[in-house]
């Protein structure tokens, strides 16, 4: 193992690690058999603690991913949500973040959708109020131009930053990451797989693995029940308008707070889920909160109370969204092909 030269004991930079093989963070891949006296094999976390330079390299890699990969994907998903769900984004995230990291990043991703939903009504109201008929264009035409321009600009940023799978030399991997960081990225994702992949793999093999895995269909059922609650996005402004809490402008403004709260709650739940390495209980808990909100909304005739219940069922529904998809992507991680196929099936 190479020597470490650094001016600070607290922080070790990847660039200061001399060239040489990285410390093996996966004892399971060792070719030498375990001695009979060894009670157990060390976990990757224990090996990382024994090699501070590895942990420093991994922290720097994750920090760089958060500053480059996440902002671009966040922007793409925000613009894309106006038309359809972009499932390939979940695949990209699951290729670079480990199981203990992906839930929080998926929650950040979904916050873009919640923010877009919160302010889409206000943007549309402003466009129709001030640009309808301007330069001979109707309000809906201006809305397409404004939203399309944002999508067009974010696409160019994606060309420069978004990489393919770990090990590729595309996107930011070709100009922003060092060889050492790419080695760390590849090795830590290998250690995070739930099982060892086969030497040869292809798209059809990945499809077969995903279809034969019963967990894929369990996630399909979870997604189907979850998406049934997404219909409220289409008529939530009508629900708020039915509460008769003000004018049309006030109604559009009142649609934003529940979605903003949902974004905050989703991030908090994701942090808790990552720290406790749990998905199931967190999903059940948020769904129960959503059910409570729906029951109160259906049972009461008080209009302000019905609006208040949106602060229960919207955060409850959307807080579990990132957990479901990140859980599916983490479980189906034997091969990149299975990961992409299983995520697409679960989200379809």
Query: Among 160, 191, 222, where does a domain finish?
Result: 191
Residues 130, 257, single domain; the answer is: no
CB of 267 within 8 A of CB of 104?
yes
Answer yes or no: is 244 within a domain: yes
On whether both 104 and 242 belong to a single domain, the answer is: no
Q: What is the DSSP letter of 93?
A: H
Q: Residue 4's beta-bridge partner residues? A: 17
For position 331, which CATH number holds?
Answer: 1.20.1250.20
Task: Give residue 42's pLDDT.
Answer: 58
**Whether residue 247 sits in one domain with residue 144:** no
Q: Which residues of 52-67 are buried (b: 16+ CB within 10 A; e: fewer)?
A: ebbbbbbebbbebbee
Domain membership of residue 185 (yes or no) is yes
The answer to whether residue 202 sits within a structural domain is: no
Last residue in a domain, options 134, 161, 191: 191
Number of domains in the chain: 2
d(CA 108, CA 110): 5
15 in a domain, yes or no?
no
> How high is the pLDDT of residue 225?
80
Q: Judge whether 112 and 93 are in contact, CB under 8 Å.
A: no
pLDDT (0 to 100) of residue 144: 81
Same domain flag for 187 and 50 = yes
Q: Is residue 266 part of a domain?
A: yes
Q: Are residues 104 and 225 in the same domain?
A: no
Q: Is residue 89 part of a domain?
A: yes
223 and 127 assigned to the same domain = no
Report the distance separating Cα 204 and Cα 23, nearest Å: 34
235 lies in the same domain as 109: no
Are residues 224 and 124 part of one domain?
no
Question: What string of pLDDT tens digits covers the 348 residues of the chain?
Answer: 444 444 444 444 444 444 444 545 444 444 444 444 445 545 666 666 567 888 888 888 888 888 888 888 787 777 665 545 455 666 677 778 777 777 788 778 777 777 877 777 677 778 877 888 888 888 888 888 887 888 788 878 777 777 776 767 776 766 777 788 888 888 887 777 655 455 555 677 778 888 888 888 888 888 888 777 777 777 787 788 777 776 766 777 788 889 889 989 988 998 898 888 888 899 999 999 999 999 998 898 888 888 899 999 999 988 887 788 778 777 776 776 777 777 777 766
Q: What is the pLDDT of residue 37?
A: 47
Q: What is the predicted pLDDT for the residue at 38?
A: 45
What range does the domain containing 185 cover?
45-191
Give this prediction's pTM: 0.60
Same domain (yes/no): 150, 85 = yes
The C-alpha R_g of the chain, in whole angstroms, comes to 23
Q: Are residues 175 and 246 in the same domain?
A: no
Same domain, 130 and 218: no
- Residue 109 domain flag: yes
- Residues 55, 180: one domain? yes
pLDDT at position 233: 72
Q: Tell whether 33 is covered by a domain.
A: no
Q: For position 90, what pLDDT does the model report?
A: 66
């Amino acid at each position: 193992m190479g020597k470490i030269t650094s001016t600070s004991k607290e922080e070790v930079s990847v660039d200061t690690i001399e060239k040489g093989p990285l410390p093996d963070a996966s004892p399971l891949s060792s070719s030498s058999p375990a001695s009979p006296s060894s009670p157990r094999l060390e976990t990757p976390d224990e090996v990382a603690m024994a090699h501070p330079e590895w942990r420093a390299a991994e922290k720097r890699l994750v920090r760089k991913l958060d500053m480059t990969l996440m902002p671009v994907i966040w922007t793409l998903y925000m613009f894309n949500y106006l038309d359809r769900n972009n499932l390939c984004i979940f695949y990209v995230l699951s290729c670079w973040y480990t199981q203990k990291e992906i839930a929080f990043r998926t929650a950040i991703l979904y916050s873009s959708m919640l923010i877009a939903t919160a302010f889409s009504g206000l943007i549309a109201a402003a466009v129709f109020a001030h640009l309808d008929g301007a330069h001979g264009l109707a309000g809906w035409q201006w809305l397409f131009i404004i939203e399309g321009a944002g999508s067009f600009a974010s696409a160019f940023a994606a060309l420069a930053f978004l990489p393919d799978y770990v090990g590729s030399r595309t996107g930011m991997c070709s100009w922003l990451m060092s060889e050492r960081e790419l080695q760390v990225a590849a090795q830590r994702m290998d250690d995070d797989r739930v099982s060892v992949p086969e030497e040869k793999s292809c798209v059809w093999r990945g499809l077969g693995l995903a279809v034969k895995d019963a967990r894929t269909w369990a996630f399909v059922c979870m997604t189907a029940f979850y998406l049934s609650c997404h219909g409220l996005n289409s008529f939530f402004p009508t629900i708020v308008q039915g509460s008769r809490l003000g004018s049309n402008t006030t109604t559009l403004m009142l649609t934003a707070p529940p979605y903003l709260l949902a974004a905050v709650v989703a991030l908090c739940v994701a942090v808790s889920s990552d720290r406790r390495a749990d998905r199931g209980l967190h999903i059940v808990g948020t769904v129960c909160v959503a059910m409570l909100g729906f029951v109160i909304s259906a049972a009461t005739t008080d209009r302000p109370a019905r609006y208040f219940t949106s602060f229960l069922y919207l955060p409850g529904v959307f807080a579990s969204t990132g957990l479901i998809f990140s859980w599916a992507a983490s479980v189906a991680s034997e091969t990149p092909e299975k990961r992409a196929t299983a995520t697409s099936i679960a989200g379809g």
